[in-house]
Structure 1
Amino acid sequence: MVFHPPSWVPQLPFDPPDSIPIAEFMQNEQYGRYPISQSRNPFTCGVTGRTYAVNEFFARCDDLSRAIARRMRWSPNEGTTWDKVLAIFSLNSIDWLTVCYAIHRLSGIVSPANAAYSAAELEHQLKSSGAKTLVTCVPLLEIALQAARAVGIPDDKVFVFSLPGVDDSSIRFKAVEDLIREGAQLPALEALRWTKGQGARQPAFLCYSSGTSGLPKAVMISHRNVIANAMQHTAFDKPARARRGITTQNTLGPLPLSHIYGLVVVSHTGPYRGDGIIVLPSFEFEQYLGAIQRFRVAQLIVVPPIIIRLLRTQEVCQKYDLSSVRFVYSGAAPLGDETISDLKKIYPQWTIGQAYGMTETSTVVTSTSEDDVVNRSSGSLIPGARLKLLAPNGEEITEHDQPGELYVQAPSVVLGYLNNEQATAETFVVHDDGRWIRTGDEGLVTLAPSGNEHVVIVDRIKELIKVKGHQVAPAELEAHLLTHPVVSDCAVIDTPDERAGEVPKAFVVKTPAYAAKPDDEVAAAIVKHVADHKASYKWLRGGVEFLDAIPKSPSGKILRRLLRDKEKAKRGRTGAKL
């Protein structure tokens, strides 16, 4: 059985265009964007207030594209798109999208990298994406240079964002702002000459995801994928906003713009519908609260750990005026009903909704309408999205409240994984009724009190751990742990954490040579081994526990569910919160 959006959800006004770059869609009212003359400035620095109007922003994109074209010797219509890959490894900046659109103007690709990466992790992404140039920032410059030099990117192809409060006057690397000024003095570039359907075939972004399983893979996200999701999300929200008389609003999303949630939901859907996005370099709690107060933010786009922080630090929150907030929109991981209820007791005027999506769907598949909130649900299907639920035996589920694996069909479903045919074939499957993405998530469809169908995410079939919205693949950590001489065998699972949502925990079998060593000493060595080589969100904050053997199936697959059950029982015995 195929589930569809509820009857109240508007259909898309037209098919998402498939032959234009994202920037043209975002600045052309012909494609349904909110009138430019009535729009808020798309990006405003939440620290300094620095901002540019819509037309100024796109002029800066054009200026930057000319400078990059000259320095990289790239032309809009010469060479392949794979010859023009730029990576961004930086904290957030109001010029983040300026760089993206400048590269798209040259028919190139942007590969966003997580700012928490180690040099080795960044090196892997630079190499696998084929990046020829890199934009970073002063706080991350040392790591960026180590990775760039390792893959052969010369120093003169490394550029930096200027960040608030960061002195970059003494560095010898060209700032993006300098490139924009440089490009303003250069002649205009020739127009892009795209063929019919090129926007649907050509990647705009290479974002890294672990998918349904395994190590991080480059997800090929087309221009049309991003365009479609912005249209879908905007159409879904339109009735509720209209009933409240909302034309535009300020939105605060401190999420990393390298993450698909920040990249599409924050940076594209918001500006497309005329909203102003308040940008913070990173999440610092009091800076975050101060930005809400200063810019009268109406919508917060969050991940569950931010909600927990709001609940746990009321003595700090009460120093700020948060009365402008109307809608809190949570994603990246499910938010518990109890947590929502606790927050509503403190802020009864806030509507708290959830959404569901993934990198491979260019973000949103289901969303919560302000008019139809069910705490435990991730909302209803958005326009253009279809859903099937399959039981473990492969049969389609046809009833409400029966869980199964989610399969999704939508115009935002991506092209596939770069240079990984096996993972693409396993994740993007073809049925008699078309191409579907197998999400690896277990969910169900239920009827809300309103009578509308809602999607509830029950559990993750895939083995990912979500730390503050970041994906951590157990296989990656297990492979790394096995390089340590102490570790004979191992498994990594998630364990609950109040601040991060989940954190990794390792179960380890010692090698015989270390069997007699004290557990505390060996555990400390293992924790340090991960901390020395991996991004901080991948650290073993859940600890290390030693076993005689790792439970496995006859085929050798680690039975992580047994370890999770063991961990849950242990927390129950000790009275720890789940």
Structure 2
Amino acid sequence: MVFSPPSWVPELPMDPPDSISIAEFMSNDDYGRYPLGKARAPFVCGLTGKSYTAAETVERENYLARAIGKRLGFTHEGSEWNRVVTLFSLNTIDYVPLTHAIHRLSGIVAPANPAASVFELEQQLQSSGSVALFTCVPLLQTAIRAASANGIPNDRIFVLPMQIGEWADGFATIHALLEEGKTLPAIKELKWTKGQGARQVAYLCFSSGTSGLPKAVMVSHFNVIANIMQLTTFESFYRRRHSIDSQVLLGLLPFSHAYGLVIMAHVAPYRGDQVIVLPGFRLDTFLTAVQRFKIEQLNIAPPILVQMVSSHKKCKEFDLSSVRFVYTGGAPLGSETLQTLSALYPHWHLGQVYGMTETAVVVTSTSESDILYGSSGSLLPSMRAKIVDTDGNEVTIPETPGELIVQGPSVTLGYLNNEKATAETFFWDNDGRWIKTGDEAIVRKSPQGHDHFVIVDRIKELIKVKGMQVAPAELEAHLLTHPFVSDCAVIQTYHERSGEVPKAFVVRSKESAGIPESEMARCICEHVEKHKARYKWLAGGIEFMDAIPKNSTGKILRRHLREKERNAIKERKARL
């Protein structure tokens, strides 16, 4: 059975253009964007208030393109793979315009996680074939070492200032490039052949996966353009009904991650919204920005919402009345946490989004007019989905779990130089090209009768207890309702009789101060045993730790915990 968007979802107003760059699409009113002359300033620094108008932003992109083209010798001739640059920076108001400047030169941008180590950045520079590196002052030393290991000289390292007047001795800044670009002639406009935008890579986004080194996902210009149009069209239904012309959003999610890059950095400016850019998360800074700029939509990772619940007394010190919609994704968020948030902030609409780097990015989203707690919403326009059980049969009955398989114009080109992984993930059927998400999902009806998708968990991460499946996300959501738990993660561990059993890693809350760990573990286990079936009990025990390892969007790095558990088992066996 093939699932389609609900009947209320509008169709795309036109086919996504496949012969232009993202930069052209974002800066030209002819492609349906909110008029440049009327749009809010697209990016505002949440620390200083610095911003540029939409028209000034496009002008700055052109100046940057001129200077970068001259410095790096980029021309339109030859392969785009000779024009790959890595962007290793925290969020700034110059981040996205810089990527568009590279696109105006028919180049490729490889965003790098700002939390990357020297070794990780070295690997990305090497695998992407980058010839230059853009970074920021806080990350400069890591950038220099990684670039040196890849033969990238200092004159090909450029700095994005994080603060007004900030500079780095010996390195050209974005501001220097802008001034240089003003003195240079305009670059030639790109003239692409039919379909080139669908074939040409715009971003190399590195997907964390569940194991092994990150894989470089080839995201085309067409992929991003399509998803911008899909999400804009999906949300237009509610915005039109409630006369929302444009709004102010939080830009805290890393632009280096596909979620932040597409949803925040592209969809928002395209529809005339304003993004308040923050370089990282601190609760006080975040709350101050919401109050100062009267932010209406929060796009944030689940751990921040969990912290807001545990720190609700602190949150009450700030005026958050401007917030209307809280939009979360990147990692599962339990319905219990959503219900608690709803009780604390009853005027907020709370919704989840689902997607992958490989789908660039959104597959399903929650409309403010059709919310079902615990679900990730409904399919976007032009998306199709199947759910396939373990025997390979398509699921036709609601609430029946299986692997989610999706199709749509934003599904990416595959993995760079990794034909094996591409063949395992993307496949052609008699009705087109599909992607296996690796996520177990069910379809559930909303109160209004529309199909919603509930993501159960990663298939590879499901715990099998005597043949019965346990979703770590379900247990984690329940554990977070206990007052002793500030954060947590659940993995499988070996059990002689059951094969696998759940084990929890827990970060203690402030409320647990002074209580012995043995007593805390007993109380937490009883909390699970009181509400969950026996096979879901924490038979693997509880281990307390200072912090749960996570990536930049809040997704738990379970492989680190599994490795920790394997080493602990080996040590125990060695002592026997």
TM-score bracket for the superposition, by shorter chain length: 0.7 to 0.9
Deviates more, 1:310-319 or 1:204-213: 204-213
Which digits, 9 at most, give the CA deviation of each residue in 1:69-92, with x for residues without a partner? Answer: 1100111x2121000001011111
Contact 1:116/1:536 (<8 A) preserved: no
Change (3 A) 1:281 1:274: same
Question: Shift in Å at residue 461 of structure 1?
Answer: 1.0
Q: Which residue of 2 aligns with 1:337?
A: 335
Q: Which runs of 5+ in 1 are unaligned?
A: 468-473, 475-490, 501-522, 552-578
Change (3 A) 1:499 1:68: farther
Change (3 A) 1:185 1:356: same
Contact 2:159/2:168 (<8 A) preserved: no
Q: Which runs of 5+ in 2 are unaligned?
A: 463-471, 477-489, 491-499, 510-542
Counting only pairs closer than 5 Å after superposition, residues 520-535 of structure 1 correspond to structure 2 as none
Q: Which residue of 2 aligns with 1:104?
A: 103
Q: Which residue of 1 aligns with 2:568?
A: 546
Question: Shift in Å at residue 548 of structure 1?
Answer: 4.8
Contact 2:161/2:167 (<8 A) preserved: no
Q: Which residue of 2 aligns with 1:119?
A: 118
Which digits, 9 at most, give the CA deviation of each residue in 1:457-495, with x for residues without a partner? Answer: 01211459999xxxxxx9xxxxxxxxxxxxxxxx9x995
Question: C-alpha distance in 1, partners of 2:147/2:91?
Answer: 20
Question: Shift in Å at residue 447 of structure 1?
Answer: 1.1
Specify the code of the residue in structure 2 equivalent to 1:143: T
Specify the code of the residue in structure 2 equivalent to 1:99: L
Q: Which residue of 1 aligns with 2:2?
A: 2
Which digits, 9 at most, give the CA deviation of each residue in 1:317-363, with x for residues without a partner? Answer: 12211100000001001211110111111110000000100000001
Question: C-alpha distance in 1, partners of 2:290/2:378?
Answer: 28
SS in 2 for 1:10: coil
Change (3 A) 1:318 1:403: same
Counting only pairs closer than 5 Å after superposition, residues 289-300 of structure 1 correspond to structure 2 as 289-300=287-298
Q: Normalized against structure 1, the TM-score is what?
A: 0.82
SS in 1 for 2:255: coil
Specify the code of the residue in structure 2 equivalent to 1:546: A
Change (3 A) 1:60 1:246: same
SS in 1 for 2:222: helix
Counting only pairs closer than 5 Å after superposition, residues 307-386 of structure 1 correspond to structure 2 as 307-386=305-384
Contact 1:40/1:53 (<8 A) preserved: yes
Counting only pairs closer than 5 Å after superposition, residues 483-494 of structure 1 correspond to structure 2 as none
Q: Which residue of 2 aligns with 1:40?
A: 40
Question: Shift in Å at residue 257 of structure 1?
Answer: 0.6
Specify the code of the residue in structure 1 equivalent to 2:408: A
SS in 2 for 1:36: coil
Question: C-alpha distance in 1, partners of 2:239/2:507?
Answer: 33
Determine which of 454, 458, 476 is the counterpart of 2:456: 458
Question: C-alpha distance in 1, partners of 2:274/2:314?
Answer: 26
SS in 1 for 2:2: coil
Q: Which residue of 2 aligns with 1:12?
A: 12
Question: C-alpha distance in 1, partners of 2:175/2:507?
Answer: 40
Question: C-alpha distance in 1, partners of 2:14/2:503?
Answer: 42
Question: Shift in Å at residue 253 of structure 1?
Answer: 2.6
Change (3 A) 1:444 1:354: same
Contact 1:327/1:351 (<8 A) preserved: yes
Question: Shift in Å at residue 169 of structure 1?
Answer: 3.8
Question: C-alpha distance in 2, partners of 1:24/1:103?
Answer: 12
Question: Shift in Å at residue 242 of structure 1?
Answer: 1.3
Contact 1:213/1:462 (<8 A) preserved: no
Q: Which residue of 1 aligns with 2:395?
A: 397
Change (3 A) 1:130 1:281: same
SS in 1 for 2:48: coil
Which digits, 9 at most, give the CA deviation of each residue in 1:49-103, with x for residues without a partner? Answer: 100111100100000000001100111x212100000101111110001110010
Does residue 150 (structure 1) correspond to residue 149 (structure 2)? The answer is yes
Determine which of 285, 288, 311 is the counterpart of 1:287: 285
Specify the code of the residue in structure 2 equivalent to 1:201: R
Question: C-alpha distance in 2, partners of 1:387/1:28?
Answer: 32
Change (3 A) 1:299 1:497: farther
Change (3 A) 1:44 1:499: farther
Q: Which residue of 2 aligns with 1:28?
A: 28
Which digits, 9 at most, give the CA deviation of each residue in 1:543-563, with x for residues without a partner? Answer: 656225999xxxxxxxxxxxx
Contact 1:309/1:499 (<8 A) preserved: no
Contact 1:355/1:366 (<8 A) preserved: yes
Which digits, 9 at most, give the CA deviation of each residue in 1:231-256, with x for residues without a partner? Answer: 00000001111111100000003111
Contact 2:331/2:555 (<8 A) preserved: no
Specify the code of the residue in structure 1 equivalent to 2:107: G
Contact 1:4/1:387 (<8 A) preserved: yes
SS in 1 for 2:37: helix
Does residue 410 (structure 1) correspond to residue 383 (structure 2)? The answer is no
Q: Normalized against structure 2, the TM-score is what?
A: 0.82
Contact 2:46/2:278 (<8 A) preserved: yes
Question: Shift in Å at residue 230 of structure 1?
Answer: 0.5
Q: Which residue of 1 aligns with 2:60?
A: 60
Q: Which residue of 2 aligns with 1:513?
A: none
SS in 2 for 1:38: coil
Identity across matched positions, percent: 53
Which digits, 9 at most, give the CA deviation of each residue in 1:17-38, with x for residues without a partner? Answer: 0000001111112111112222
Question: C-alpha distance in 1, partners of 2:304/2:333?
Answer: 11
RMSD: 3.0
Kindly tell me the number of residue pairs found equivalent between the two proteins: 501
Question: C-alpha distance in 1, partners of 2:506/2:357?
Answer: 24
Deviates more, 1:409-418 or 1:390-399: 390-399
SS in 1 for 2:190: coil
Which digits, 9 at most, give the CA deviation of each residue in 1:170-213, with x for residues without a partner? Answer: 52111111111111111111121211111000000000014475
Q: Which residue of 1 aligns with 2:206?
A: 208
Which digits, 9 at most, give the CA deviation of each residue in 1:512-567, with x for residues without a partner? Answer: xxxxxxxxxxx9xxx9xx99xxx99869579656225999xxxxxxxxxxxxxxxx
Contact 2:330/2:555 (<8 A) preserved: no
Contact 1:212/1:439 (<8 A) preserved: no
Determine which of 260, 279, 283 is the counterpart of 2:258: 260
Does residue 129 (structure 1) correspond to residue 151 (structure 2)? The answer is no
